[in-house]
Structure formats: C-alpha cells, structure tokens
Amino acid sequence: MAGSPAYAVDLTAMIAATMLPFVSFLTILIATRGRPRLSAGLSIGSVTISLACSIALLALHFHLAAPIEFSTRLLASGGLDIPFGFLLDRLNLLMIAIVSAICFLVQVYSLGYMAGDPGFSRYYGFMSLFTWAMMSLALSASLLQLYFFWELVGLSSYLLIGFWYEKFSATQAGKKAFVMTRAGDAAFFIGLLLLFVHTGDLSIAHLDSRSALSGVSPSFLTLSALLIFGGIVGKSAQFPLMTWLPDAMEGPTPVSALLHSATMVAAGVYLFARLFPFFSMSSVAMTVFLAIGTISMLLASTMAIVSRDIKKVWAYSTISQLGFMIMALGAGGYFAGVFHLTTHAGFKALLFLCSGVFIHRYETNDIYELSRFGARRMVIPTVSIVLGAAALSGLPPLSGYFSKEAIMGSLAAMHNPLWLAAGLAGVFLTAYYSFRVIFILLFPRAEGAASPPPQEAGITAGGHAAHESGYRAMAWPLIILSAVSVIFGFFKTSFKDFIGGGAAAGGAAGMEPSWLHIAPLALALAGVGLAWVEFGRKGAKQIGFVDRMPVLSRLFAERWYIDRFYGLVVEFVIDRGISRLCSQNDRKVIDGSIDGICEGTVESGWVVAFLQTGMIQYRLLAILGVLALLLLCFYF
Amino acid sequence: MIAPFSHVLVVAGILFALGAFCAVTRRNLIMIVLGIEIMLNAAAIAFVGGSLHLDNLDGQTFVLFILAVAATEVSVGLAIIVYAFRRTGSFDPADFNLLR
Amino acid sequence: MHMEPATFPFLSAILLSCVVGMLTIMVIPEERHVLIKQVSIFFSGVCLLLTLYVFFAFNRSLGGLQFVEQVSWIPTLGISYFNAVDGFSLPNLLLTGIVFFTGVLTMWELNTRVKEYFALYFLLVTGVFGLFMSMDLFFIFVWYDVSLFPMYLLIAIWGTTRKEYGAMKLTLYLLAGSALILPAIIFLWAKSGLNTFSFVSLMHPGMFSPADQKFAFLLLFLGFGILAAVWPMHTWSPDGHVAAPHGVSMVHAGVLMKIGSFGVLRVAIMLCPLGWIYWAKSMAVLAVIGIIYGALVGLRQTDLKYVIGYSSVSHMGVVGLGLSTVTVAGLNGAVFQMFAHGIMTALLFSSVGYIYDRTHTKLIPELGGLSRIMPVASAFFILAALAGVGLPGLANFWGELLVFLAAFKVYPLFGVIGVVTLVITALFMLRVVQKTFYGPANARFAGLPDVSPWLGTPRIILAAVLLILGLYPSLLFNVIRTASVPFMNGLPR
Amino acid sequence: MNWITEGPEIFYFGASLWFLLLTFAAPQKPVSNGGRRREYLSAILLASVGILVCLASVRAEGWLFIRAYSVDLFSQVFKTLLSLGLFLIVSLCGSISDIDERRHNEFYFLLFSCTLALMLLVSADHLLSIYLSLELSSYSLYILVALRKRRALGLEAGIKYFLTGSFAAAVMLFGMALLYSSCGTAYLPDMAKVLPGLISRPTVIMGLLFTLGGFFFKLAVFPFHSWAPDAYQGASNQVAGYIATASKVAAIAVVLRVLASAGHGSAYLVHVLVILSVVSMTLGNLAAIVQKDLKRLLAFSTTAHSGYVLIALLVLDPAGYSAAIFYALALLVMKFTVFMVIVELAPDGRNLQIEELAGLHKRSPIMALALLVALFSLAGIPPTVGFTGKFLIFTAAIQKGYVALVIIAMINVVISLYYYLLVIKAAYLLEPAEALPPLLVSFPKKLLAGFSIVGIVVAGFFPYWLIQIANAAVLPLFGGR
C-alpha cells in the first residue's frame, strides 16, 4: 500500500509529527543545554510542526472510512514477530490533534511560566520527550508499541514531576508516580503477554475485530481485559492507584496541565477507547470497569471538597472526571467517553493554566491566600477560570455540559439505576467543589482589611518586567482554551458523526428519557447553589458542610487513608518485612554458611597442622596404624 | 625337621612387630634406632626363609646387603643422634620440638 | 552446522592485540603513567575495532559458525585451537570489546601501580575474548580460568571496601565453579569416545545418553551458574562488585557474569540438551527466586555498588529465566539481556567510579544532591538506572520482553512474578536515584567538577549503545537468531 | 657394552668422587670468598655438563647387572629431569651461607651422590637395586638436612627425617621380603607376569602395601608424609629445594615402575590408592592453610601434590602414567621457581615467613612475578604447566570413570588456591612495616627467573611436545621391549 502518493503523504506527516519532537529532545539534551532560548525554540518549533501535521491529517481524513495501517517489522525473532508502525483512524486523528494542540499551547505558556529557571533547557527537552512519546502512543499500531510509548510517557511524567529535584517532595512525588503507574503497567504487561501468548498477535486492528478472538475462551478474555485495565487504572489514576496524581502536582504547573490533566492521564482512557471492542466482549470486565470508574469518581470528588490547594482540587477533579469517562466507556458509551475526554482536555488544561498564572504571580497554592492576595484582579485568568469551572460543572452552554449529558445518557441505559444515581451525585459534587474554589477566589474574606498585592516590593524591576512579558505569553493560551471550551460543545453532533463512524461498535445511545436533559443540569445548579450559600454570598463563613464534620473531613483530607495504607505496606511489608528478611538471609544464612564452611576449613587446618607437631614416635605409630587399617579393609 | 615356610614368616612377623613396638614405645632415640634394626632383621629372616623356600639365591644376596645397609644406618643415625645429644643433652624424642 | 572459514584470522588478531598490549605495557617503565594509558587505549581500541568489524562482517543470512580458525593443538587428546563466532558468541564478543575499551578509559585517572593494573586487566580480557570465541572445550576452560585469576589481584590491590575479603571470596567461589566444570568437560570428552574436545564434533544429538546429559548438565550448570550469580550462589558477586576498582567492576559485572550464562548456554545447554530439558524447571525456579530476591535485597542496600550488585543478581535471574524456557524467544531474550545488562552495569559502574573518584564515598546517605553539582555525570547514572528498570527505548527492555514472553508460554506463574518484580526494581532504583542525585546540593561536594568530555567518553559510548539497541533491537536479534533458531530446530524432542 | 648407556651414572659417580677428593684437600681454616666461588663454579660446571651427558644418552637402551638395572627411554627421561633438577638447585648455591664454609665440598659431594642414587633408582628393575639406591639417596639426604649451620633446626629435622625414613625403609624391606617369597622372584618384569594371579593373597597384598610404603615415604604420601614439613623447615633452603624437586621426581618414577609391574588386577590396591590419594591431598591442603613458614607450607602442599600424582598412578594405564611423568616435570619447575624466590629473599639462609614477602612486588618485580606464576601453576590455573599436568591426570582418571575422585581433587585445588593466594597477597599486597631496600638480583638470576616464568607458561600453553615425550617414555614399561 506504500506505493500511492496519498499514503506517502500520510506517512511523512506522521513521521514528522512523531519524530521531530524526539530529534529536538536529543538535540536539546546533548547540544543546546547551555542555551535556553534555542532549546525552547527547537521544542516549540517541533511541536508546531507536529500540530500542523496533525491538523493536516485530520483535515485530510475527516471522512476516513476504514483505518489505515502502516507497519514494518521492528523485531522478528523466531516465533515472535513484533510489527511497528502507525495506525490511523478517527479516534487517533482526534487524539493527536488534542495532544499536539495542548502541547503547543502549554509549551508557549511555559515560555512565560518557566522563564529564568535554571533548568529551562532541560524542561523543554523533557517536554519534547513527552510530545514524542504521547504522539507515538496515539498512533501506535500494536499494543506492544503502545506499551512501549506508554512507559516512555510515564518516564517523562517522572522526570517532569521531579523537575525541581532539589525539593524533596517533588522527587518523592515523581518516584511515587512512576512506581504506582508501574504497578498498573505490570498488570498491563502481563495482560499483554497473556494475550500475545494466546492469540499470537498484538495488532490493535486485529484485537478489535471480533472475529479474531472468537476462538478464545471468555474467562481468558475477561482475565486479559482486567489485566490490561490495570494499566489504565495506573495511568489514569483510578481507584486503587489514584493517589499519585495529587502528589504529582509538585511539578511545574504547565506540566500538570499538560500531563496530569489533559493528555497523559487521558492515555488510559484513550487505551480503553482504543480497545473498546475488545473490552466490550467481556461483560464482566465491563462491569468491573464501571464500578472502578464510579468509585474513583466519587472518592476523588470527596477529596476535592476539602482541599485548600488549588492544584490539588483540580487534580482530584481530574481523577473524578477520568472516572466519569471510564464509567461512560464501561457503560458502553463510546462516544460519551471520547467526547468527555476531548472537552475535559480543553477545560482542565484551561483550569490548570489559569491556576498557574495565579501561582506564578503569588507563589502560593492555597486558595484562601490567593484570594486574600487579590487574585481576582487579574482579569483574563479570572474570567477563564470561571469559564473553565463552569464547563467542568457541566453548565450550559459550555462544552462540559454536553459531554456530561452524553455520559448520563449512556449511564441511564444501564439496567441498574445505581450507576446513574452515582453519576448524578458526581455531577452535584463536581459543581460544588469547582464553584467552592471559584467563590473563594472571587470573594476574599480577609481576616483584616483587604490586603495589598503582596511581595510587590520583593520583586525587582527586572523580575517584574519578566513577569509582565511572561504574562502575555501565558495569557494567549488561556484565551484560546477558553474559546474552545465555550464553543466546542456546539459541535457535539458533528463530533458524534466523526467518532461514531470511526468505531465499529457504537454502544448504546439514543433512547434517552427527557428528564435526563434536566436532571444533571439541575443537580449542577444545586451544587453551584450550595457553594454560593456556603462560600459566595455575603456573610458566608466559607466553611463547607464537610468541614463541619471533622471525621468526614479528616477522612477526605487523608484521601480515605489509601496513601497511608500504601505507605504502611511499602514500609512494613516490603522494606522491613520481606526485604529485610531477604537481606538477613543473605548475610546470615547464605553468607554465614559459606563463611562458616571456609572458617571450618581453616579451623580443621589448625587441627591437622597441630597433629603434625607431635613427638616423632606418634608418627611412627600413625604409619603402623594406617597400614593396619588398610590391611583390615582388605578382609572386609 | 624342616619348619614350614609359613612358620618362618610368622616368626619374622613377630620379630617385626616387636621391633616396631620397641621403636614406637621407647622414649629414647637410641632405642628407636635399635627397634628399627630389629625390624630390618625381621625382614632379613623373611628373605632367608623365602630364599630357602624358593631355592633362589636372590634372598640371600638381599640379606648380605641388608647387613651392610644396617651398619651404615647405625653409623649415620648414631652420628646425628650423638651430635644432637651433645647440643641438647637429651635422648628424649619429646625434647625435639622446635619445628612446628 | 555451517562453517565459514576465515580469510584472515580476525579472532586470533583480537587475542593477539590483547596479548601484545599486555606485553608492551609490561616493558614500559612504571613511572610513565600517561604512556601506559595511551598504549592501553590504543590496543583496546584496536580490539574494539576488530570486534566491530567481525560484528558487522558476520553474514546474518548465512548464520552458523563464521571466522573459523582451527589448528590442531594436542592431537593425542583431540584438542585443537578452534576459534569461531556464531550468533550466541558474537554479541558477547562485541560486548567485551565495548566494555574493555570503555573500562580502560574509565581508569584514565588511576595513578597507583598503573603498569600492573593495565597488564592484569589486559590478561583478564584476553581470557574473556578467548572464551567467547573458542569452540574447543579445553580452551573454553583455559580461558575461563585465565579470565578469573587476575581478578584476585585486581580487586585486592586496587579495590576499596573490604577488598581482601571480597577478592578472596570471589576467587574461591569462581574457582569452586571451575572445580565442577573441569570434571564435567572431561566427562563429556570421555563419554563421547571420539577423543575430541571440539565443540562442533560433540554437538550432535544423541551423542550422549540421557543419563550422562543430566549428570553433566547439572555439574556444568552449577559450575557456570556460580559465575552467572544464580541464586543462592550469588553472594560473591555483590561483595566482589563493591570491592573491585571501577574498571574491573565494569568488566566483572558487564562481562564476567556473562561468561557464566554464556557457559551455561554454550557448554551445558548446547551439549546436553536433554539434560537441559530435564533440569529446566529447576533452573527456572532458581532464576525466579534470583530475580525477586535480588530486587528485594537491593532495596535495603546503602552502598551504591551493592545496589548495582544486587540489581545484577536480579537481572541475571532474567537471563537464567530466559535460558530455562527452552524456547527460541527465551534464548534470544537471554542473550540480548546479557548484552544489554553488560552495557547497563558497565555504565552504572563507570558513573559510580567517576562520582567516587570525586567524592570518595559511595554510601548513599552521605551523597545527595549530586545532580546540581555534576548534572552530566548524574544523567548517565540515571539513564542506566532507567535501563535497569526496563524502560522501553533502552536496550534492556527488549531482553526482558522476550524472556518474560517466553516465560509466559512455559511458566506463566514465573512470568508473573518476574513482571511484578519490575515494580520493585523500579522502586529501589528510583529510590537510589532520588537519594543520591536529587535533593539540595550537598555542601561537602560543592565545587566538584562535572565530567569533562574526555572523561565522559566511556559513558557516552555506553549510553549510546543502550539507546541505539533500545530503538533498533534487530541489530542484535538478527545475529542471535542465526544461532538460536537452528539450534532449537535441531533439538531432540 | 656401550659406555654412553651408563654415561650419566658414570659421570655423576666421577663428579661426586671429585668432590670427595676435594674434601680431603680442603684447607682446615675458613677459606676466602674466592675458594667458595671456585667450588660453586666447578659444581655448576659439572651439573651443566651432566645435563648434556644425560641428553646425549637419552636414546640409549641396555641392561646391567643381570637385568637388575635397565636403561630405557623411561629412565633416561627421568635422568634428564634429575640432572636438570640438580643443575637448577646448584645454581641457587652461589651464596650458600647456611652451610658451614668448611663443609661445602661435602655438601656438593652429597648432592651429587644423592643425584647419582636417584638416577640408579629410576633405572632399578630389581627389588634389591631399588632398595640399595633408595637407601643411598636417603642417607645422603639425612646428612644434607642435618648439615645446616642453624644446628638446632638442622639436627632436629635430620633426626626426624632419619627415624621416619629408616622406619619406612624397614617396613618396605619387610614388604619386599613378603613379595619376594610369594612371587619367587625379585625382578620387576618377572613379578609383573606372576602378580596378577596372586594378587588376592593376603601376603602379596601386605607385601605390596608395605613395599609401596617405602616409596610413598619418598613421595611424602599420607601416612608417610610426616617428615616432610620438619625436613623442609629444618633443612637449608637449597636442600629443601632439592628434596622438593629432584627427590620427588625420582620417587614418582619408582612408584610408577613398581605399579606398572605389580598393580594390575587388584581392585583392593586401587581402593587403597584412592583412599591414600584423597587423604593426602585433603590433609596436605588443610594443614598448609595455617602455616606461617613458607617452606613448611610448601611441604604440606607437596603432600597434596603427591595426592594428585597418586590419582594419575591409580588409573593404572599409559595415559595416567604419562600424565604422572608430565606432572613430575611440572612439579620440578614450579617448586624450583618458588625455592629460587625463597633463596633470593633470604640471602642469610634463614627460614622465610610468609609475611616477610611483604613488598616483594616493589623490591623485585621479576621475583614477585616468578612467585606469582609458580604459585598459580601449583594451584593449577591455566595457562601454566601445573594446570596442563592436572588436566592430563584428570582426563586419564575420568576416562577410567573416577569422576567423583576428580571432583574431590578439584575441591582440593580450590582449598589450595586459598593459601597460595595468601602468599601472593603477601607478595603483592602487604607493605613491609619499615621500608626495605630493593632486592639486588644478579643478572643470571633474573635470567633464570625469566626462563622459569616463560617455561611454566609456555610448557602449559604448548604442551604437545612434552606430552609426546611423556607418552613415549611410558612405552618401555608396557612391553616396549
């Protein structure tokens, strides 16, 4: 198929979109570390080309009928044939567009945010690494290739979270993120190998065709689906591997916006969507996924209610929204899940970037402090953050409203009304916690008088100027993303056509009862209202209802003690338990016995040597004795 | 009457054992040498007996040489032992324990 | 088996350049350090170039034995000087060339007893090269021992922590291994009745009875297994790593441990395939214990080199698991993993060496914040640690992938355990990285120079190899396959 | 009769006579340095000519004394080795300060006559000639040991050596009497014909065992080894070197000859040899671990090496015997090299403690290297002659099915490596308490050391020529005539 010119164009575009960031990554790390401006230029240049290629591909193949696959054999070793290539269908056309667009915006934004950081070049190097890995992940033709880049995405996440490596908490968070996602990935890897061993082919197109797996036993299918889902749980920070994501907020804010909200964590959901036909072959697995999505969504929402750290609120909200997506997909709502993925990428990136502006300016993450410092005076971010929060809460006419509605639609199609109830509760909580933040930010309740913008004196003139120019670089992405959040929802229908045509399995959608249009909206409004009562209105004490219940608030603040539990497991079971046991065994038993044998040999040497020092006649006796013994042997 | 060869061997064996006993038990260097001489003589008896038994002269030749060698042995041995006695004043084998 | 005679004795030329290098070093006066080092670099460079030539000139479509050189040595016992490379030995040969060269470069700053060091180092490597290219059991044993005994002096004289203990332990352990190998080799020779030690003549299915194969395989596996740090015969390896000077640690972990696994493959498996099949399950159990045990013990170590040492135990367990699967994929993965692990540990030790030479400590609690002080030097270590974690894009991933894949087919449970251990490996590797390189810069080490391009050369080479193979593994797999596929096809079932 | 056949014996007889005459002519007062030098030069000249004579007669064949004495390739090869051993040891006697100056002529006389006796021994084909030459060599050695200037050590060693030796000789003699009377002959070739039929008789077994005991004494095999540590420690360094090299070579030869004639067909004898071999090497190696005195350590290692040699002998076939011959050569070279280093390091003739080796690598790199190579060779590490010798022994043993025995031997090799490494550690690792001056090694000694190193390595790596000689030398024992 490589002959026709159209394919050649596609291939070139895809290679350019994926490989250029890699080239820039290598160049930055090897050659241009000492020149921050050049590095940033390289990185942004490459991501611009990626974006252009992605959009070109999207435009070219907007009415793509059948997936296009390019593959070459990367590795063939007896009995094992690992193809490597590109798969192009509507889903990943969409994905690469989202990824490259947000990468582009965030990298531009970072010009301002990261200005003056000593690791500026390194930052852009890692950003390029991420872009490469994420774009390649989206375009992967086989599950193994996807895993390959899946891990690399994890690597860039590790490096970027721990970017400020002199901060202990940052490095700790990076390590935690890597290890926890790795735990999920181990399951993914096992599932992948299992699948390979039984089917002999990991090509995504192959796995998604029902005919290919018809001969495989259902229980096996369920098992491998569950294992692969383990990877999704890790990457998308679902229950029970959810706690790394809030910690990951230790990284620079643009990183949180890019990796830990819009794209990388969405890779899990993307994988779900990618293998949707495969997963949907096992109804048991789908139910499990649905349950996990629901649990994560609710738990994370409760955590978000009590957090004072603005980034952490958005982080919890990310988990919760990802939970929504998983729920949607688990309920068979392919379109709803992917649609929410898209809209969420936009408004969540927006939220983070806005918060980043505040944090960059006031150097604190605490909502109350930000509010007291007068964050609301920065107009563009404030407007944008309100828009973003509204989109997150699912208020019309913003994009979030449409995608939430779609999700509720697919949940409603389930037999068990419990899922829908949980979803609706989630909608309420989402609206509540997002507007809690907004109202706190908008209506400062200073203990004293309105405090002046702080630290004005502390910032030198040059630094201030840098902030100002940086502010402009940071503002544009906000405006673009806000616009997207506002407009995108109206393209629901065409989006549905685009996506729905792309996937073979549409899932259940359609017969939605009319009250479904109203219920989510009503609940979202109720959430906003409660937030208004507690935080917004004049005289409100800005104490949430949960805060009045110490037990509950403690439980939520401690993240339901999940983290504590893992800490204990790692410390007591692994570190002080098995690992210590093994070390002791190594030193005492194995080394001990070897050393013991050696010492015994030397000791016996002393004995033997001592026997040689006696009187001469003992030796004569020994000669006689041994001869006599040997002769005796003869008679036996 | 002619003693059977096995009796000769038994006598030689007993003599050998006596010599060995002497060499092993007596705490005097000279007596050890004497014990060894007795062992040599036991061998000589066995040789003579064998020679007669087989009607072969090799055994007799052996005895002649054993006598000569035994004489050499005594001279070399006594030379060393006496020299040692002059230095240490002792014939007790237990006193020679420098080497360890 | 196809045999392609050599037009020019390249393999002997490799050995000869080592020996000539050693002799040249021995005649240079001790005081002329720089000259000695330059000569060492020259001769090791020649070796590297020759191995590279052999590697790329190896005909991948033909396979079999190539560059064959054979000279009768002791005809009465059927011993011949028989050198050749096949798909199994070629990667190891290249590995030796690379580690040898980079090991010489790493020791550029040595200034005590330089002459003796490099002379012994060359002798050591001569043995390693010889072992990988030899096709005669007698010579395999000779080279095996030649590559071991310089270790004692190298560690005991130039080493660091508990060096005499480590050196003695290592030497005795490994010689104990050879105590099992030599009888087994002679046993095979005697049982064949052909009066030949030639590997090619002995490697015929049905040459040895099943009972003989089981017996000989056990001896050979235990003997070579000691060198491959098979659990529970592994404790010499961390102690030895820690005690050895950096260049020697590189060769030791990078190449010497491969001799063990290579010996298991070449001698034990290829000559006693029935024994292999019989013992495979036990091998797998030991290997899996090694994988998880190494990682768990590594978790508690506070000495950088101990950490690497125990991670090596774990990684060599992966090799062992691959060898025990009795599949093509397993063999391929194991040989690939040998190569990848060799390069990776060489890189780790080389980096630790640089750091130790500056800070004079390799205790993790005393270090910290090195990334701020020497970012490039740290980056190399971190890269290697990531390779050790099995990150895609770096060479180790492919080896582990194939091994676990093969293990899943044969021993699903062991495969699961192996994969789960990757998480623990990640935990302890990243912990080390965090504690050593991250955090606020340590005032004690402020002002220490970062690695200069010249001193960084060995690490650049090693890192580049890791990366190239991580992205283009076929470079190696194409070679390994030429040996593994025919071998497995010829296996009696 | 062709004179060349007995050339070596006649030559060495003449040489010892020459020194005997010199003892009468020697002045009674202490001689000047020149006098000592002259004796040394004449000794080394005679010893080197002796090698040539042996080489010239290497192809000779013949009999003497109504076949009690046979000259064949086997004996001639061993004679060449013995002459080589003597030459090497004499070359170490340049500054022999541990023997009274007035006794130098006697010293050389005894050395040459002992060599003569050993040469007779390797050719002896009759129990009587074996006995006589054995005793002759033993008496020379007793006196050589006792001749040391450090009298307390020398005399004690002499007494112990003498008593154990005479005791063993008496045992051997009794055994010979039993053998003779059972077989009806004292010719080894004739005994070889009768013995297989009689081998299960108690008297024959007893006789064989006792007879071998005498040879095992020479070889320092358990339980006849107990003199070795004391004799090595008590004798002067050169004499200890002589016992360790030339005397061992001859002992291997005579055991070989006797076993080749007598050993076939007795499983019991093989078992005894297996037991003795295992116990010898284990015991020797264990005891050597804890020694502080280098010579005493070497004595115990000698016992261990005798254990290895016994493995070669007990397979009772040509491959084993030729391996034993090869190993004899290997032992000669290796042990000599170590003693050369000892002599160089202790010019005043004292006993060398292991820790005194400290700093050797700095004081004299070539001597340190020679010691290193020799010890690794003793430990059996390739590519040295010691390894090749062990390899030949093990191939012979495994071909006969003694796999377990070989594994035990290999484990012993590992144990032995431990104490060799301790010595190497002392030479290469330890630094002396106070700085010692560099060792002044004369050029000939350097040359000798160089030759030893090259010899050990080359003979180990290119052994084929030597193996062929060893194979050829074995042939006469198996009806080569």
What's chain A's average pLDDT?
83
What does the DSSP assignment read for D254-275? Answer: HHHHHHHHH-TT-HHHHHHHHH
pLDDT > 90? residue A571: no
Domain membership of residue A430 (yes or no) is yes
What's chain D's average pLDDT?
88
Gyration radius of chain B over CA positions:
17
Task: Indicate the number of domains in chain C.
Answer: 1
Contacts of C62 (CB under 8 A, 6+ apart): C2, C4, C482
- Contact yes or no for D391 and C156 at CB 8 A: no
Given A556, A581, A604, the domain boundary residue is A556
> Confidence class of residue A468 from pLDDT cuts 50, 70 and 90?
low
Q: Which chain D residue has the Cα nearest residue B79?
A: D143
Amino acid code (one letter) for D103: R
- How far is residue D370's CA from residue D357's CA, in Å, rounded to a whole number? 13
> Confidence class of residue A409 from pLDDT cuts 50, 70 and 90?
confident
Instruction: Strand C65-74: give its sheet, edge to edge.
Output: C3-5, C65-74, C79-85
Secondary structure in 3-state letters for B62-87: HHHHHHHHHHHHHHHHHHHHHHHHHH
* Identity of the residue in C141, C157, C183 whose CB atom sits nearest the CB atom of D398: C183
Given A556, A588, A603, the domain boundary residue is A556
Minimum mean pLDDT among C438-447, D276-285, D348-357, D362-371: which range?
C438-447
Once rounded to an integer, what is the mean pLDDT over residues D59-63?
Answer: 79
Q: How many CB pairs under 8 A join B and D?
A: 124
> Confidence class of residue A463 from pLDDT cuts 50, 70 and 90?
very low
Minimum mean pLDDT among A16-20, A362-366, B35-39, D120-124: which range?
A362-366
Domain membership of residue A463 (yes or no) is yes
What does the DSSP assignment read for A64-131? Answer: --S-EEEEEEEEEETTEEEEEEEEE-HHHHHHHHHHHHHHHHHHHHHHHHTTT-TTHHHHHHHHHHHH
pLDDT > 50? residue D152: yes
Of the residues D174, D185, D190, D201, the best mutation for testing chain B's interface (the one with the most B CB atoms within 10 Å of its CB) is D174
ipTM: 0.88
C225 vs chain A: nearest CA distance in angstroms? 16
* Identity of the residue in D167, D171, D268 whose CB atom sits nearest the CB atom of A634: D268
Of the residues C26, C77, C131, C139, the best mutation for testing chain D's interface (the one with the most D CB atoms within 10 Å of its CB) is C77
Q: Containing domain of residue A11, as a range?
A: 1-235
Q: Which residue has the tokens 């070093």?
A: C25
pLDDT > 50? residue A453: no
> Any contact of D with B, at least 3 CB pairs below 8 A?
yes
Helix H or strand E segment including C348: helix C328-359
Asked if C106 and C462 touch (Cβ cutoff 8 Å), the reply is: no
- How far is residue A546's CA from residue A554's CA, in Å, rounded to a whole number? 9
pTM: 0.91
Residues A169 and A41 in one domain: yes
Task: Indicate the number of domains in chain A.
Answer: 3
Q: Containing domain of residue C216, as a range?
A: 3-489
C208 secondary structure, DSSP code: S
Contacts of A616 in chain B (CB under 8 A): 32, 93, 96
- Contact yes or no for B59 and D233 at CB 8 A: no
pLDDT > 60? residue D1: no
% of residues, chain D, pLDDT over 90: 51
Asked if D410 and D417 touch (Cβ cutoff 8 Å), the reply is: no
Nearest to C114 by CA among C187, C201, C37, C193: C37
Contacts of A620 in chain B (CB under 8 A): 20, 23-24, 32
pLDDT at C409: 87
Encode chain C (493 residues) as per-residue pLDDT tens digits: 677 787 889 999 999 999 999 999 999 998 889 999 999 999 999 999 999 999 999 998 888 899 999 999 999 889 999 999 999 999 999 999 999 999 999 988 888 889 999 999 999 999 999 999 999 999 999 999 998 888 999 999 898 888 888 899 999 888 889 999 999 999 999 998 888 999 888 888 778 899 999 999 999 999 999 999 998 888 898 898 889 998 899 998 889 899 999 999 999 999 999 999 999 999 999 999 999 999 999 888 888 889 999 999 999 999 999 999 999 989 999 999 999 999 999 999 999 988 888 888 888 888 888 888 888 888 899 999 999 988 888 999 999 988 998 998 899 899 999 898 888 888 888 888 888 888 888 888 888 888 888 888 999 999 999 999 988 888 898 899 899 888 988 887 6
- Contact yes or no for C74 and D391 at CB 8 A: no
- How far is residue A302's CA from residue A551's CA, in Å, rounded to a whole number? 13
| CA atoms C436, C442, C445, C451: torsion sign | positive
- ∠ at Cα A479 (A478, A482), nearest 5°? 85
Gyration radius of chain D over CA positions:
21
CATH: 2.102.10.10, 1.20.1250.20, 1.10.357.10, 1.10.287.3510. Which one for B7-92?
1.10.287.3510
pLDDT > 70? residue A458: no
Q: Is A59 exposed, middle or buried (0-12, 13-18, 19+ CB in 10 A)?
A: exposed
Given A504, A530, A556, the domain boundary residue is A556
Contacts of D153 in chain B (CB under 8 A): 98-99
C152 touches chain D (CB under 8 A): yes
- How far is residue D229's CA from residue C261's CA, in Å, rounded to a whole number? 43
pLDDT digits (tens, 9 = 90+) for A140-181: 888 888 898 999 999 999 999 988 888 888 888 998 999 889
Nearest to D248 by CA among D82, D385, D69, D58: D82
Collapse the DSSP code of C493 into the 3-class scheme (helix H, G, I; strand E, B; otherwise coil) and give the result. Answer: coil
Asked if C96 and C128 touch (Cβ cutoff 8 Å), the reply is: yes
A601 touches chain C (CB under 8 A): no
Domain membership of residue A272 (yes or no) is no
- How far is residue A311's CA from residue A298's CA, in Å, rounded to a whole number? 18
C171 touches chain D (CB under 8 A): yes
Question: Could you tell me whether strands D69-71 and D62-64 are parallel, antiparallel, or unpaired per DSSP bridges?
Answer: antiparallel
Domain membership of residue A265 (yes or no) is no
- How far is residue C201's CA from residue C420's CA, in Å, rounded to a whole number? 42
pLDDT at C344: 93
Domain membership of residue A243 (yes or no) is no
C420 touches chain A (CB under 8 A): yes
Domain membership of residue A403 (yes or no) is yes
Contacts of C172 in chain D (CB under 8 A): 414, 417-418
| CA atoms A152, A154, A157, A161: torsion sign | negative
C408 half-sphere exposure, CB direction, 13 A CA radius: 23
- How far is residue C121's CA from residue D5's CA, in Å, rounded to a whole number? 51
Angstrom CA distances, A299 to A303, C301, D410, stand at 6, 37, 66
